[in-house]
Amino acid sequence: MADLSGRRGATALDRRPDGARAGSPRLRPTRHSSGSGHRTDRGQLGVRHRRSTTYILTTIATLIGLIVLSGCGGESSPSASSTTAAPTAPPTNVVWTSFAGVKVPAADEGPRNNRYQSVPTGYARTGAGAALAAISATIRMSVADDNTWPRVVGTLVAPSEARDQWSVNRVQISITQPVPKDKAPRVIGYTVESFTPDKATIGIVDRQSDDSLTKTTTTVKWVVSGDWLLELPPVDNTTNRVQALDAPPASMIHLPESN
């Protein structure tokens, strides 16, 4: 993986936001075997001096004290109903946009507004809409540069104490360059862990540049403004929501390959 320590503006990455020196133990995911047992992946999944594929999925976890996305946020609309589409119905007419070197899916289910801009919004109140919103917000808050991240987080993440803490920790590092093309992960699909018209838990499945697979569990909530916002977990939540996989989940909803 490429070292960013020599990259201009990246010197703040010489230390982790929690004050530990580079080289300190990092978050390790649980690898679930396809057989009867399981083993622990010894690969490090913490913030490093590189915009690696693993970094995309775990920057947020390290920034908020080794916590990944889930959590609590804004109020939901009490009366709006979901469409008749099943939560597992795949998105239609998927296209791929790019943000900071990472491909982001878009489809008929969203985003409707600013699709090719830094902060797109407007997703359908369906399983596919929730998944597209979760994927977009997760990628964008992970890799947004120093000038862009305040608007990304302020628009796409539900207000909470956890969001405030994430922002405090984010200013301690500097990101000035996009993810190198050969290091960017590729979203290959997602799982719908749970869904209601007001809240959804989505597992984002990525293939990393070394061909390994990870699943990041995220949560989005429908808010009164009429959109899905990403929720961060409470600041004292230590649940590891990044898992290494041996194979794509059987229930994964596949996305077409990005061009």
For the question of whether the overall pTM of this predicted structure is more than 0.85, the answer is no
Query: Between these two residues, 48 and 134, which has the higher pLDDT value?
Result: 134
- pLDDT the model gives residue 103: 97
The residues, any chain, with a CB within 8 Å of residue 154's CB and separated by 6 or more, are: none
Structure tokens at 32: 């679930």
Which is it for the CA torsion 160, 74, 156, 71, positive or negative?
positive
Cα 209–Cα 212–Cα 216 angle in degrees, nearest 5: 100
The length of the chain in residues reads 259
Residues 65-107 pLDDT 10s: 333 333 333 333 333 334 457 999 999 999 999 999 999 999 9
Q: Are 255 and 95 in contact (CB under 8 A)?
A: no
Residues 108-149 pLDDT 10s: 999 999 999 999 999 999 999 999 999 999 999 999 999 999
Residues 108-119 pLDDT 10s: 999 999 999 999
- pLDDT the model gives residue 241: 87
Predicted confidence (pLDDT) at residue 51 exceeds the cutoff of 80: no
The CA-based dihedral angle spanning residues 246, 180, 231, 161, taken in that order and rounded to the nearest 10 degrees = 120
* Single-letter code of the amino acid located at 2: A
- pLDDT the model gives residue 258: 79
The residues, any chain, with a CB within 8 Å of residue 205's CB and separated by 6 or more, are: 187, 188, 189, 190, 191, 213, 214, 215, 245, 248, 249, 252
Query: Between these two residues, 164 and 75, which has the higher pLDDT value?
Result: 164
